[in-house]
Amino acid sequence: MSRVSARRRLAGRRRAAVLVALAGSVALGGTTIAWRTFGAPVSSPANEAPADQIGVAAAQVAGPLDRADVGDAVGDTAYSFSDLVGVVAETSTDGTVHLRVVVDEWTDPDSDDWRFGATRVTWEIDTNADGRPDASARLAADESGPKAGVRGVDGARRCLAEPLADAASRTYGVRFEARCLGHPESFRVRSSFEYDDVVFDLTGADLAPDGGWSDAVAGPADDTMRIAGAAGATERARRCSIGC
């Protein structure tokens, strides 16, 4: 059996195990996704924002406001685990931004390839339609588990985001407040996925779309959101470094 065939079988077992652990579902753009959430970020990883600049720790999602979908060809990268097949950008009526990608072969972001490898998803974000990125969101992991955050194009930390994943739809995602982008009227995205297989020492990367950007997505007009916590109280978000 080849390395890649063995790796596919290993991924299949991982997906089956993750499906058992999936809990809670939210509706995004008419599609129900059983997100596996990794909880609100409670401390600041070295490469992300301080804990007092947490962008969002939402336990549930309000209704969709606007959305853009971009498909990407299957098999346009040599390694299927790094193959993106779509990217979605969506805004919600609770004042949050939802970014996600769909991949050909899904693995758990809490697995060794993420925690000990360089596996990561990056969404570049154009907030002024000039064709250049103004910010980026990233989903990655370290030894303690998945992490997500938003940075400016200058590398400045803006806020932490909530890391999300779903095995059934082969999806990875992040969720954060629109004010982490400066509350733009609209924005566009493009994504990249780098996969680092620490078991078989295989790597790959893909872009979606292969050129250009998604269609523009309208930004939320309101930044009221639900903060996850013991009481689950709703309050005005005050913990992002922009617009506070």
Q: Is residue 241 part of a domain?
A: no
Cα–Cα nearest to 121, from 226, 190, 191, 178:
191
pLDDT digits (tens, 9 = 90+) for 196-240: 999 999 999 999 999 999 999 999 865 444 434 333 333 333 333
Q: Is residue 243 part of a domain?
A: no
**Cα 153 to Cα 109: distance, rounded to the nearest angstrom:** 25
Strands 162-166 and 36-37: antiparallel
Q: How confident is the model at residue 48 (pLDDT cuts 50, 70, 90)?
A: very low
Number of domains in the chain: 1
Range of the domain at 199: 3-236
Q: Is residue 69 part of a domain?
A: yes
Q: Is residue 212 part of a domain?
A: yes
The confidence score (pLDDT) of residue 75 equals 87
**Cα 45 to Cα 33: distance, rounded to the nearest angstrom:** 27
pLDDT digits (tens, 9 = 90+) for 182-206: 889 999 999 999 999 999 999 999 9
Q: Is residue 244 part of a domain?
A: no
pLDDT digits (tens, 9 = 90+) for 90-117: 999 888 999 999 999 999 999 999 999 9
